[in-house]
């Protein structure tokens, strides 16, 4: 079975263009593009939403739709690449679900847990599938770590630490603003913390019950001016007793030192350590080997989603996964605002 892809939202800061990965899949082709109304101006960074969208549609070889309704009414669209700002996501997801479209959604899935609940209810009520693009699950080295855990080679995990920092400073043209924060819901803990928290949830396989966190604006004056964090430290207590810490953020260093990525899991039998999502070194106990390389993670993730649609299986990373990460991160922000006081991971944050 093949799938026509419609794109809602383009040129929006912080939303990656997963329609290109869909376009590269042999069973998918992009057929239509539209913008959505009331885009936060800061997220377009000076681009005109309609003219940019028309140019983007031309680049993809797709039809330009003047409205979301026009795109969703097309019978040749079965999957929507929903690349909108988080605050707009619940309403647009509900519209996609009402039209019976499957959805590929970048993180953060939405702005808050109330929005996440709307998304989960819409997706499950409509019987469609949503892929939340937490692609590190498909990174070859992290897949190897999970395989070691599933094989019992590490035993029961008792502790974990994950450092994942992005070098190179802010992306070209980006300036932190209050409008950006209102539309997205946070700084680099929101931006990169989704990947780190989801990876730990996926590997440990238990819910987080308590969080304490500190966030800082250390490097960039525009971040400091609006109170947006560029680095964060988080401790998470899992339901089964596992204690995990993470450090994530965006640093001004122009290269990527080895310590910018390090995942360590300590188990009742052994330990496993990974130094890159793709390649690097994989340490299991006292043995150190070159970690496996393989299919690019985003490509593998899209392939798994399309395969799930074709075989009638659930999405490999669904709306409830996106909600769970958001639940942990909202607790982390609550703790940081309370000077690092531990916060229970409740659903009402």
Q: How confident is the model at residue 258 (pLDDT cuts 50, 70, 90)?
A: low
* Helix extents (H) in the chain: 19-24, 41-44, 49-60, 68-72, 89-98, 113-126, 140-150, 178-184, 188-204, 221-226, 297-311, 319-337
pLDDT value, residue 283: 86
pLDDT value, residue 28: 98
CA dihedral (153, 203, 343, 218) in degrees, to 10, reads 110
pLDDT value, residue 348: 47
Q: How confident is the model at residue 294 (pLDDT cuts 50, 70, 90)?
A: confident
pLDDT value, residue 255: 73
The answer to which of 18-32, 79-93, 161-175 has the lowest mean pLDDT is 161-175
Q: How confident is the model at residue 257 (pLDDT cuts 50, 70, 90)?
A: low
**Per residue in 52-64, pLDDT tens?**
999 999 999 999 9
Angle between helices 188-204 and 319-337 (to 10 degrees): 120
Q: Is the pLDDT of residue 287 over 90?
A: no
DSSP, collapsed to helix, strand or coil, labels residue 60 as helix
Per the CB < 8 A criterion, the answer to whether 138 and 300 are in contact is yes
**Per residue in 124-155, pLDDT tens?**
999 999 999 999 999 999 999 999 999 999 99
Which string of b and e fits 249-279 if b means at least 16 CB within 10 Å?
Answer: bbbeeeeeeeebbbbbbbbeebbbbbbbbbe
pLDDT value, residue 259: 66
pLDDT value, residue 293: 81
Query: How far is C-alpha 322 from the geometric centre of its chain's CA atoms?
Result: 8
pLDDT value, residue 349: 45
- % pLDDT > 70, the chain: 98
Give the number of other Cβ atoms within 10 Å of residue 118's Cβ.
17
Q: Is the pLDDT of residue 292 over 90?
A: no
Q: Is the pLDDT of residue 14 over 90?
A: no
What is the distance in angstroms between the CA of the first residue and the CA of the last residue of the chain?
41
Domain ranges of the chain: 3-128, 136-293+327-344
pLDDT value, residue 85: 95
Rounded to the nearest 5°, which phi and psi values hold at 2? Answer: -110, 160
CATH architecture of 136-293+327-344: 2-Layer Sandwich (3.30)
Give the mean pLDDT of 37-62.
Answer: 94
Record the pTM.
0.95
The answer to which of 107-116, 213-222, 274-283, 311-320 has the lowest mean pLDDT is 274-283
Q: Is the pLDDT of residue 172 over 60?
A: yes
Fold that domain 3-128 belongs to in CATH: Rossmann fold (3.40.50)
**Per residue in 305-334, pLDDT tens?**
999 999 999 999 999 999 999 999 999 999
Asked if the peptide bond before residue 108 counts as cis, ω within 30 degrees of 0, the response is: yes
pLDDT value, residue 15: 87
Closest C-alpha among 200, 194, 222 to residue 145: 200
């Amino acid at each position: 079975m093949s799938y026509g892809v419609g794109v809602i939202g383009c040129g929006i800061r912080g939303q990656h263009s997963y329609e290109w990965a869909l376009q590269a899949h042999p069973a998918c082709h992009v057929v239509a593009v539209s913008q959505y109304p009331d885009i936060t101006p800061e997220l377009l960074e000076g681009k005109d939403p309609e003219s940019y969208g028309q140019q983007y549609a031309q680049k993809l070889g797709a039809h330009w739709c003047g409205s979301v309704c026009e795109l969703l009414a097309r019978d040749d669209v079965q999957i929507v690449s929903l690349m909108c700002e988080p605050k707009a996501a619940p309403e647009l997801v509900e519209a996609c679900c009402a039209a019976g479209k499957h959805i590929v959604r970048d993180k953060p899935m939405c702005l808050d847990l109330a929005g996440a609940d709307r998304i989960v209810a819409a997706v499950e009520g409509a019987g469609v599938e949503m892929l939340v693009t937490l692609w590190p699950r498909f990174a070859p080295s992290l897949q190897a770590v999970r395989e070691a855990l599933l094989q019992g080679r590490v035993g029961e995990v008792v502790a974990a630490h994950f450092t994942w920092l992005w070098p190179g400073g802010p992306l070209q043209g980006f300036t932190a603003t209050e409008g950006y924060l209102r539309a997205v819901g946070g700084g680099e803990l929101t931006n990169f913390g989704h990947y780190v928290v989801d990876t730990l949830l996926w590997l440990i396989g238990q819910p987080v019950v308590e969080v304490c966190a500190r966030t800082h604006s250390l490097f960039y004056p525009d971040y400091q001016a609006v109170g947006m964090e560029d680095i964060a430290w988080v401790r998470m207590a899992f339901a089964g007793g596992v204690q995990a810490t993470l450090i994530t953020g965006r640093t001004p260093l122009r290269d990527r030192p080895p310590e910018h990525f390090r995942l360590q899991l300590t188990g009742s039998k052994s330990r496993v350590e990974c130094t890159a999502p793709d390649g690097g070194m994989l340490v299991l106990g006292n043995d150190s080997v070159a970690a496996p390389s393989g299919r690019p993670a985003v490509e593998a993730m899209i392939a798994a989603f399309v395969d799930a649609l074709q075989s009638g299986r659930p999405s490999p990373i669904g709306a409830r996964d996106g909600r769970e990460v958001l639940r942990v991160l909202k607790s982390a922000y609550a703790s940081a605002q309370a000077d690092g006081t531990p916060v229970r991971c409740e659903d009402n944050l």
